[in-house]
Amino acid sequence: MGVSRFQAKNASTGYNPIVELAKETDTPLHLWKESTLVVDGDGHPVASFEANKALKKVWEILEAAIEYSTLHSKEIHHSASLFNFFERWCNQAVEAGDMNKREMELVLGMSQMWGAYVGDHVELQSLKYFYLEDCINGDDCFIPTNYQKIMARVSAVPLAQAHIYLDTVMVSVEARIDEPRPVCLTTSDNREQYFDDIVVTVPLGWLKQHKESIHDLHPRIKSAIDSISFGRLEKVLIEFPTAFWNSITADAGNDFNDSVSFVHWLSPSYATQSNPHKWRLECVSFNAFPEPYRRNILLFYTFGDCSTHITTSIHGLQGAARDQWLQNFFEPYYSRLPGYAKTCAPLRFLATEWCNDEFAGNGSYSNFQAGMMDAAQDVEVIRHGMPEQHIFFAGEHTAPFDGLGTVAGAYTSGDKVARRIVRNRQAEPATLDNL
């Protein structure tokens, strides 16, 4: 249920360690085709050519926004959002006669899909620091199975050579320079252990709530941890007896390559009881996978307040009660897809609850929201850590700028900090005050 969707190539280097690990371990990769269904705010399907044209325009504007943010970040006001950029772009296109009002409505509605990438609303995404989200280039990949082989590969050495303590919580990390091993780690079983160096890899959300666990944490690192925002991405998988949503392409005699890949529901006016705030939704179809991975499953991505509402509502519910709540919430959407009938009722549901998981930090991963004053340096100071105290940080929130918020970035950050530690055994590290 973790990360399964990512870009095939790093935006600057063209290299993605997860793709390479997938190839080495014979883990299958699926490249999505832009076959999109869009349901408008009244619950009616949008013509295919309109939907795919709007999706293409959204990506065009996203790429333009990345370029604009990269070139003009210093001049952009910290309150400006990505949605402001979309509105300005569309208004200019309408005035120039390059876009009509209907097309503008579709593009602005579909711009909300950015929330499924960063875990919160496009209106909250900082334009000034949008360049820090520059991981959208390259093919959109998906692992149609799981990370089992990749995890086995990367965990082989730790499992063979390291001591791993499960069901044990880190309580504190403290530099004790006068000790032979200068860093003391205290765990929930009241055990103190000493190390040459420690790398803190907890999620940013957990770190925000437990800054005091890092003793003598540098004030600039504290402010950076507070400043960087944290997304609320969740997933809900719904399995059906048939992939009824492919009825149009199936009737035309098409193969899986023409199956629907993405579905977007624009802000709905038809689900006032279950969704009075009109949160838009989207999903990917597992029926677009080739055999033997094809399944009659829709994977919904939710974010922001919608995720909070869902995870709060289902928390503590079990079995039929949990499934019934999820069915009541999602039925207004999947029931508006082509080919739906009452015989297509869901077989089962599976939903994440990262917003309820304290060890996930009650959320998903870092993002950069409007209002941030110095996001780039915030990342850099956490990434730098406190080498003079032999305390370092790793994770997606310390990744290179073009890997922030990604599993590839998290992997890369760990590799880089490990190399730094090895080098630091031979040389005196710089201090945070000299950054």
Count of CA atoms in the C-beta half-sphere (13 A) of 298: 30
pLDDT band at residue 254 under the 50/70/90 scheme: very low
pLDDT of residue 250 exceeding 50: no
pLDDT of residue 3 exceeding 60: no
pLDDT per position as a tens digit, 40-73 = 999 999 999 999 999 999 999 999 999 999 999 9
Position 33 scores a pLDDT of 83
Q: Name the percent of the chain lying above pLDDT 70.
A: 91
State the alpha helices, DSSP H only, in 162-314. Answer: 204-209, 219-227, 247-251, 304-314
pLDDT of residue 247 exceeding 80: no
Position 252 scores a pLDDT of 38
Partner residues linked to 263 by β-bridges = 37, 283
Position 110 scores a pLDDT of 96
Give 80's DSSP letter: -
Position 434 scores a pLDDT of 46
Contact partners, residue 218, CB within 8 Å, separation at least 6? 381, 386, 432
First to last CA, the chain: 38
pLDDT per position as a tens digit, 120-133 = 999 999 999 999 98
Q: Which of 103, 25, 125, 94 is nearest to 57 (CA)?
A: 103
pLDDT per position as a tens digit, 163-220 = 999 999 999 999 999 999 999 999 999 999 999 999 999 999 999 999 999 999 999 9
For the range 426-429, what are the long-range contacts, defined as Cβ-Cβ under 8 Å and sequence gap of 24 or more?
Answer: 429/387, 429/388
Token readout for 316 is 């503590």
What number is the average pLDDT over the span 320-342? 97
Position 430 scores a pLDDT of 56
What number is the average pLDDT over the span 135-147? 79
pLDDT per position as a tens digit, 216-232 = 999 999 999 999 999 99
Asked if 347 contacts 239 with a C-beta cutoff of 8 angstroms, the reply is: yes
Q: What is the mean pLDDT of the chain?
A: 92
pLDDT per position as a tens digit, 387-401 = 999 999 999 999 999
What number is the average pLDDT over the span 11-22? 80
pLDDT of residue 10 exceeding 70: no
Partner residues linked to 193 by β-bridges = 185
Give 275's DSSP letter: -
Position 144 scores a pLDDT of 94
pLDDT band at residue 136 under the 50/70/90 scheme: low
Q: How far is the C-alpha of 283 from the C-alpha of 330, rounded, in Å? A: 11
Q: How far is the C-alpha of 207 from the C-alpha of 378, rounded, in Å? A: 14
pLDDT of residue 113 exceeding 80: yes
pLDDT of residue 338 exceeding 80: yes
How buried is residue 434: exposed, middle or buried, by Cβ count under 10 Å (0-12/13-18/19+)? exposed
Q: Which of 41, 276, 232, 2 is nearest to 124 (CA)?
A: 232
Q: Which of 312, 296, 315, 293 is nearest to 304 (CA)?
A: 312
pLDDT band at residue 14 under the 50/70/90 scheme: low
Position 237 scores a pLDDT of 98
